[in-house]
Structure 1
Amino acid sequence: MSSRKSNEEMKKRLQASKDTFDSRGFAGSFKMDHISGDTNIRNVSVDDLVEAPEDWNFYKPLSESKMQELVESIESNGLLHPIVVWEQPDGKYMILAGHNRARAYRMLEEAKGDGSYRKISALIKEKGEIDEDDAKEIIIDTNWVQRSLSAIEKSKSIIEKYAVLEKKKKSGAGRVRNVIAEEYEITGRLVDEYRRLGSLAEELQNMVSDGSLSMTSAAKLALFDVDTQLWMIENYRGKLSRKYTKQLKTGMDREAIRAIFESEGEAETSSVSITLAKDISERYKGLETGQRLEIAKALEELISKL
């Protein structure tokens, strides 16, 4: 589609649609110290805006349909919340929050061409007011509260947040894990699970992203090194469900893992106490997990035949 046709189509959509976009601002119980109470807001030319580095802003842009909703909302209702920018030495402003809103303004300016969207309201952080770690934290925090993030994006967010807080030594009020859990209003256990997802093989991360692997199962697979993860994908791709993965434990070798995936899954069980001779009991205690599972399975088969 030519640029002219694209602009004409945009104009038609802007006139036809009055839908609104649910854009959460900085309200709510979530606290962002670097933004809260700041009043340094003024209009900035969209030509002076620059993107944050990709390794800081690793979040996916809005889909085409959601982007269109945002454009139409801004055209109909105006900008509900200012973007957040950081003044750069060259006079430009790095976008820390509001990449999609800035993009929407550029699209509107291109479509309307009357200068009404040439400037955008921005909360400005001055050059010496914050440093790179503060800037990264603003990007992470605003995306966490404003966006519906994928499990992998949440994992990356928490890993980066962890690194920033440890570097800044902001754990005086408790362990970094607990600080993040409190700020993001999630459990400490969930913080740990999201962090573990960062050690997943890329193929498993893709499976989490496309929904073919649950986060709970992924956190279990992340207990193992990448080579073992790839081995599980190669041999047991169709069994990476909670039925099997919930039995995985830290330190299991491949023999123990194989015994789990080649079983029928965890059946309903009850515990039974068996008295063994002392020397047999000691030998049993020294067995690997996989060997113990094989003994249990053999015992079940023997009893079932009685």
Structure 2
Amino acid sequence: MPNNFFNFFKADESQNDEGRLVILNVEDIIPNRYQPRKVFQEDKIKELAQSIDKNGLLQPIVVREYEPHKYEIVAGERRFRAVQWLQRKTIQAIVRGFDNTASAIQALNENLQRENLSSIEEAKAYKDLLDLTNGTQESLAHQLGKSQSAVANKLRLLKLDEKIQTAIADGKLSERHGREMLRLEHDDQMEVLQKITEENLNVTQTKKLIDKYLKPPKEIVKKKTAKSKPKKQAKPRANILTKMDSLTLATQTLKKSLNAIEKSGIAVTQELKQIDQDNVEMVIRLKKEISESEIKEDNGDNN
């Protein structure tokens, strides 16, 4: 990892770059407030303590004096915890003149270089570095030798619920689980977390589960099938008009015929009634008018 990003901090001019080696009381020392590592494995601390007890502290811790006779760890918190586990009262330390920002950056740098932070711890370290330096993701990625997307993906994990972040930091969930869960709203995240824990879901199973949460509800759509019988359609108005026209034409034709009959001397009467939309009733009465000559002829025939 490039170091120039972390070397801009100011050291106290009264101290040289290497600081001064001293013996400090353990009770006068506090952990670094920007320590990204939140979980320390007890078995690893115990193992380191046994090594220190056998071989001595091979490398002093680095501290800064944040107030008179009070010190903050800049580098070496695991060694400090191992000495505490041994219940020793004092520890070798190098005191350097770091200010708040420089101390935080140094602590973050040391832990990032170890490459054994959880993804959540790493994400929080990135965020602290960005806040302290007022830098950009792009510049941070360049200085860390990582891609901008890798830094962005880590930082996105901090949008997860605290319980999920804790599960990832504790190794109960993987970073890939966390990335999948970022697609969900907060309440759904907690439901999925419970199912992952109870059913021990892997990443692929988790993805499928989340896909179901995100799938919109099915809409009930009524589709016409080819086998369905077509509905009886209403009679077109045009057909009705055609029938009416035909009836009118028929009536007029009959009237002309009746007029011709009437001219021949036969009395004609007619009645036209509309029965319904499709039917018309016409009643025709014919009465023959008998002339005097015809009567005489009839009488002559009878004699």
TM-score (norm 2): 0.56
In structure 2, what residue type is equivalent to 1:261?
K
Question: What is aligned with 1:159?
Answer: 127
CA deviation profile, 1:246-297 (whole Å, cap 9, x unmatched): 68xxxxxxxxx87x227xxxxxxxxxxxxxxxxxxxxxxxxxx946x969xx
Change (3 A) 1:193 1:41: same
Residues 140 and 157 in structure 1, CA contact (< 8 A), matched pair in contact too: yes
In structure 1, what residue type is equivalent to 2:204?
K
Question: What is aligned with 2:96?
Answer: 125
CA deviation profile, 1:143-175 (whole Å, cap 9, x unmatched): 222362112211221122222122xxxx4xxxx
Q: How does 1:117-266 map to 2 (within 5 A)?
A: 118-122=90-94, 124-126=95-97, 129-130=98-99, 132-146=100-114, 148-166=116-134, 171=135, 176-233=136-193, 238=199, 241-243=202-204, 260-261=211-212
Once residues 185 and 206 of structure 1 are traced to their aligned partners in structure 2, the CA distance between those partners, rounded to angstroms, is: 27
In structure 2, what residue type is equivalent to 1:185?
G
Residue 82 (structure 2) pairs with residue 84 (structure 1):
no
In structure 2, what residue type is equivalent to 1:198?
L
SS at match of 1:88: strand
SS at match of 2:159: coil
Once residues 244 and 207 of structure 1 are traced to their aligned partners in structure 2, the CA distance between those partners, rounded to angstroms, is: 18
Once residues 128 and 203 of structure 2 are traced to their aligned partners in structure 1, the CA distance between those partners, rounded to angstroms, is: 28
Once residues 246 and 180 of structure 1 are traced to their aligned partners in structure 2, the CA distance between those partners, rounded to angstroms, is: 30
Q: Residue 38 of structure 1: which of 13, 17, 30 is its match?
A: 17
Once residues 35 and 81 of structure 1 are traced to their aligned partners in structure 2, the CA distance between those partners, rounded to angstroms, is: 23
Question: What is aligned with 1:71?
Answer: 49
Change (3 A) 1:57 1:210: closer
CA deviation profile, 1:180-202 (whole Å, cap 9, x unmatched): 22333332222111111111113
In structure 1, what residue type is equivalent to 2:212?
F
Once residues 196 and 40 of structure 1 are traced to their aligned partners in structure 2, the CA distance between those partners, rounded to angstroms, is: 38
Change (3 A) 1:220 1:89: same
Once residues 61 and 216 of structure 1 are traced to their aligned partners in structure 2, the CA distance between those partners, rounded to angstroms, is: 20
CA deviation profile, 1:21-44 (whole Å, cap 9, x unmatched): xxxxxxx75554159993113113
RMSD of the TM alignment (CA)? 3.6
In structure 1, what residue type is equivalent to 2:133?
L
In structure 1, what residue type is equivalent to 2:144?
Y
Change (3 A) 1:234 1:218: same
Once residues 138 and 125 of structure 1 are traced to their aligned partners in structure 2, the CA distance between those partners, rounded to angstroms, is: 11
TM-score (norm 1): 0.56
Residues 2 and 143 in structure 2, CA contact (< 8 A), matched pair in contact too: no
SS at match of 2:67: coil
Equivalences, count? 212
Q: What is the Cα deviation at residue 236 of structure 1?
A: 7.3
In structure 2, what residue type is equivalent to 1:186?
K
Q: What is the Cα deviation at residue 58 of structure 1?
A: 5.0
Q: Which has the higher strand share?
A: 2
In structure 1, what residue type is equivalent to 2:83?
Y
Once residues 2 and 182 of structure 2 are traced to their aligned partners in structure 1, the CA distance between those partners, rounded to angstroms, is: 32
Q: What is the Cα deviation at residue 230 of structure 1?
A: 2.5
In structure 2, what residue type is equivalent to 1:149?
L
Once residues 79 and 144 of structure 2 are traced to their aligned partners in structure 1, the CA distance between those partners, rounded to angstroms, is: 23
Unaligned runs of 5+ in 1: 1-27, 111-116, 248-256, 263-288, 296-306
Residues 71 and 108 in structure 1, CA contact (< 8 A), matched pair in contact too: yes
In structure 1, what residue type is equivalent to 2:73?
I
Identity of aligned residues (%): 23
Q: What is the Cα deviation at residue 207 of structure 1?
A: 3.3
Residues 118 and 169 in structure 2, CA contact (< 8 A), matched pair in contact too: yes
Unaligned runs of 5+ in 2: 220-303
Residues 159 and 198 in structure 1, CA contact (< 8 A), matched pair in contact too: no
Once residues 218 and 143 of structure 1 are traced to their aligned partners in structure 2, the CA distance between those partners, rounded to angstroms, is: 22
Residues 102 and 120 in structure 1, CA contact (< 8 A), matched pair in contact too: no
SS at match of 1:193: helix
Larger radius of gyration: 2
Q: How does 1:103-114 map to 2 (within 5 A)?
A: 103-108=81-86, 110=88
SS at match of 2:176: helix
- Structure 1 residue runs of 4+, over 6 Å off? none
Once residues 64 and 290 of structure 1 are traced to their aligned partners in structure 2, the CA distance between those partners, rounded to angstroms, is: 44
